[in-house]
Amino acid sequence: MKRFLLFLLLASLGLSANSQNQIPLKKYLEYARSSADYVYNTRDSIVIKWRKTINPEDIFGYRAPGSLLEMAAIYATLYDLEGKKVYAERAKEVLLTYGQYTKEFPVDISRRKADYADGVPALPDFFTTMRYLQAYDKLKNKGFLTATECTKIDDLIAHSLMFILRTQEWGAMNRSALRAETLSWAVKVLPNHAVSPMLKMYEQALRSDNWGKWEIEDASLYHGVWVYALMGSADAKGQMAELFRTPEMYFYAQYFLNLISPQGMLPDFGDAANFTNWNRWIVFFEAAAKQYNNPELKWAATVISNKFLDLSTPNNVGMGYMLLDCYRYGTDNIAPKAPVTLSEEVMEDLVGKKVVFRNGWDEKSSYLLLNYRDEGDGGLLYRDYLRNTIPIEEEKVTHGHADENSIALLMYKGSTLLIDGGYRDFLPSGYFGSYRQDYFHNRLCVRNEKIWFGQKEGESRYSQSDHPAIKPQNVMEFMQNAGSYRKVRTQKVDFLTFPDHDYSRTRVIDEELGYESDRVIVYIKDPGMYVVFDIFKSRSEQFFTATNLWHTQKILKQGEHWYDTKYENIQTRKVGGDQNLLVYFPKNHYHFEQTQKENRNYQEEIAIADYTAQFFEMGQHTGFVTVLIPHSDQVNPEHLIKGIEYVPSSTDENGLSVSIQLEGKTIQVGVKCDLKMDLVRDYQRPKYTWEAGKVGYGDIETNADFFYTEKVGNKLSFTAVNLTKATFKGQLMYEQPSSYFGLNFDGRPDNPDTGKARLWRDTITIR
């Protein structure tokens, strides 16, 4: 608690526990200049190396040396800013000679390709074409090019844009926004060319799909591509201020800010890999900070650049190109200031659908990201078109994973303890849809068949005579398939934050398989652990297997229903510190456990599975309990679970509860499994009754959706959510007073009844 108050004090003073060094934008300018000089001085060797990499059979076809375009864009901008003709000459050389590289592509191969029917385009890549166009725009505006040179360049651009528009990808997504950015520059530099009317038409169409719209993607890598492309389009049109005045862009600025983790970066979720695309995020946050005059957004740009940017060796011209945009879009006149909000919804339950649990904003803070984003209802035409046009099966449309209700990142004291699975193993996806399917995520996975349990020696499941050991079915092989994404819906049920704990409940609904599952996360701030309840409920009558999956790199030690785990690295990057994660399953009756090696995150990892299976009647449910305990690697994990016990409910799994005995206090948390169990009548309101909804959890009886108690001596502090009554050993903790509701549907006179309180927090003395 003292640490928490100290953090708030520092934050209120504009300080941060991980104070960042604000980088003057002039350093970005100088890096860009030096990186362009590096490419110019080594351009011959760059071209020689490029020739060796030409692969005519590559799926993406012809690609010219991209670094020359970035060099040209930087030099043209420097000429625009400083007027030095040497920069203009160097940019002009690229513009006039770039078409010659198409001769390197074999003529016989190009003739076989339908999209090269009009010849190999000089600018085939919509990820980089705008670099060429920007350079041309600046030299043309300064009158540095002759009419003959402009005609040559105009025709090269027109031919290339006709090729790019052969492939139609539209909608509010990154590849469409990249095309819109390219077209915005093309329309600017080709106002009167024969193809200009078509370019203007397509620019308006693609730009309007993205400008002031919700993006249909859910992938942190492609979020960065999308917003950067939109800023490029706004730059071309002189509409940067207008872009940031759209409500959607303001939302996204706050959304991306509040996702930043102790890694100093947005976590990876969806099609993304750890720490990727940080360069675009620096540009976005610099621009957003200036447009909104927001020190927290400036802090985001600063913390990312401090974490990842190395200015000492300016030989990355792609980075230089983006840093020059930082210089142009940003400002030095805002001092960075770390945010002070702690656990929260990011940002709501319609577009963002994320929950972050955190105790601070520095690199040692606790941080957990829950992602419950589904494909959603937005962008229907865009999604349908993409699904029917490009080969996507393993992902949502587009770039989202089957990660609904997944924990995408858990960090503590600088150590990464749980992490998302990565982008994909190879095109279009790796084995079994890696890494997009549900079984690559930290979530509950469900299949509508019953797994073969096997048995240990001496058990009587399959034999009444000799009781032999029978090998169970491999749980990962049981769940795996082609990796094809199956559409589900998600909902937020509740989220609340308090000084001693935070609580969320989110739901996945699978109409096709016929089930729903709720994930409840309780963040207990002292001592800093998480209790995760997963509640499976059948919406049909059939067999189901439900598997509670957790992924790690190493299991250091394990015992009865517990596993002490650690991540040391994600590929070559070290992510492990001196903290481990204890994964404990205190509810284990009729549950089975397996550990399986797997390929995940482009490396060998281990899946820990806690699973059960049976025939379910309609409405029948079962539950899983996982306790996640971050701890020092010097602590014996067996000592950490001694005081943790599962508390059975009084009504056959209508509730799940855990008791945690700590030094000087006992914590108990519990959740109701079926939130509609007490709805027993329709002829009057309320529809629920205390008798139908009450559940006993050891000493506690309540009809609350959720409760949290701390017992110290004879004092019991408690939180209860959505309830009419709660008792402890028969002693009343809280009871909502009765009232009249009126207008009974069966026409009877009104009688007093009891509505539910949203929540109640109090401390009582135990008699």
Predicted pLDDT of residue 4: 33
Residue 418 sits at φ, ψ, to 5 deg, of: -135, 145
Predicted pLDDT of residue 378: 94
pLDDT in tens, 53-92: 998 888 888 999 999 999 999 999 999 999 999 999 999 9
Chain-centre distance for alpha carbon 648: 34
Q: Which helix (H) or strand (E) covers residue 223, if one does?
A: helix 220-237
pLDDT in tens, 262-295: 999 999 999 998 888 999 999 999 999 999 999 9
Predicted pLDDT of residue 115: 85
Residue 391 has pLDDT above 60, yes or no: yes
Predicted pLDDT of residue 19: 52
Q: Which helix (H) or strand (E) covers residue 296, if one does?
A: helix 295-308
Residue 15 has pLDDT above 50, yes or no: no
Predicted pLDDT of residue 77: 98
Residue 652 has pLDDT above 80, yes or no: no
Give the separation between CA 130 and CA 187, rounded to whole angstroms: 11
Residue 410 has pLDDT above 90, yes or no: yes
With tokens 């499941």, the residue in question is 461
417-667-496 Cα angle (round to 5): 70
Predicted pLDDT of residue 106: 87
pLDDT in tens, 214-233: 999 999 999 999 999 999 99
What contacts 24+ positions apart, CB below 8 Å, involve 460-465? none
Question: Quick check: helix, strand or coil at residue 491?
Answer: strand
Sheet harboring 644-646: ordered strands across?
644-646, 655-662, 665-672, 706-712, 715-723, 757-765
Q: Work out the pLDDT band at 750, boundaries 50, 70, 90.
A: confident
Q: Which helix (H) or strand (E) covers residue 552, if one does?
A: strand 542-552
User: Count of CB atoms within 10 A of residue 152's CB?
Assistant: 15
User: Count of CB atoms within 10 A of residue 190's CB?
Assistant: 22
CB 288, CB 418: distance < 8 Å: no
Residue 11 has pLDDT above 80, yes or no: no
Encode 503-526: b = buried (16+ Cβ within 10 Å), e = exposed. bbbbbbbbeebbbbbbbbbbbbbb
Parallel, antiparallel, or unpaired for β 592-600 and 603-616?
A: antiparallel
Q: State the burial class of residue 749 (Cβ atoms within 10 Å of its Cβ: 0-12, 13-18, 19+).
A: exposed
CB 545, CB 536: distance < 8 Å: no
CB 715, CB 766: distance < 8 Å: yes
Closest by Cα among 407, 418, 488 to 446: 488
Predicted pLDDT of residue 449: 97
Predicted pLDDT of residue 112: 80
Query: What are 494's strand-pairing partners?
Result: 505
Predicted pLDDT of residue 398: 82
Predicted pLDDT of residue 333: 97
Give the separation between CA 647 and CA 649, rounded to whole angstroms: 6
Give the separation between CA 276 and CA 172, rounded to whole angstroms: 21
Give the separation between CA 268 and CA 422, rounded to whole angstroms: 7
**DSSP secondary structure code for residue 455 in this structure:** B
pLDDT in tens, 464-482: 778 889 999 999 999 999 9
Give the separation between CA 291 and CA 245, rounded to whole angstroms: 9
Q: Two tokens at 645?
A: 């016990």
Q: State the burial class of residue 481 (Cβ atoms within 10 Å of its Cβ: 0-12, 13-18, 19+).
A: exposed
CB 704, CB 688: distance < 8 Å: no
CB 297, CB 289: distance < 8 Å: yes
What ranges in 142-195 are assigned the alpha helix state H? 147-164, 174-189
Give the separation between CA 317 and CA 301, rounded to whole angstroms: 20
Q: Two tokens at 250?
A: 């303001």
Residue 2 has pLDDT above 50, yes or no: no
pLDDT in tens, 339-382: 999 999 999 999 999 999 999 999 999 999 999 999 999 999 99
Q: Average pLDDT over the chain, rounded to whole? A: 94
pLDDT in tens, 722-745: 999 999 999 999 999 999 888 888
Length of the chain: 767
Residue 5 has pLDDT above 90, yes or no: no
* pLDDT > 70 in the chain, percent: 98
Question: Quick check: helix, strand or coil at residue 714?
Answer: coil
Give the separation between CA 244 and CA 313, rounded to whole angstroms: 33
Predicted pLDDT of residue 7: 34
Residues sharing a CB contact under 8 Å with residue 151, sequence separation 6 or more, in sequence order:
none
Q: State the burial class of residue 85 (Cβ atoms within 10 Å of its Cβ: 0-12, 13-18, 19+).
A: exposed
Give the separation between CA 346 and CA 343, rounded to whole angstroms: 9
Predicted pLDDT of residue 248: 98
Residue 16 has pLDDT above 90, yes or no: no
Closest by Cα among 476, 474, 521, 526 to 502: 521
pLDDT in tens, 516-566: 999 999 999 999 999 999 999 999 999 999 999 999 999 999 999 999 999
Q: State the burial class of residue 419 (Cβ atoms within 10 Å of its Cβ: 0-12, 13-18, 19+).
A: buried
What pTM, to 2 d.p., does this model score? 0.94
Q: Two tokens at 94?
A: 């690229």
Residue 18 has pLDDT above 60, yes or no: no
Give the separation between CA 69 and CA 125, rounded to whole angstroms: 11
**Higher model confidence: residue 196 or residue 650?**
196
Q: Work out the pLDDT band at 3, boundaries 50, 70, 90.
A: very low
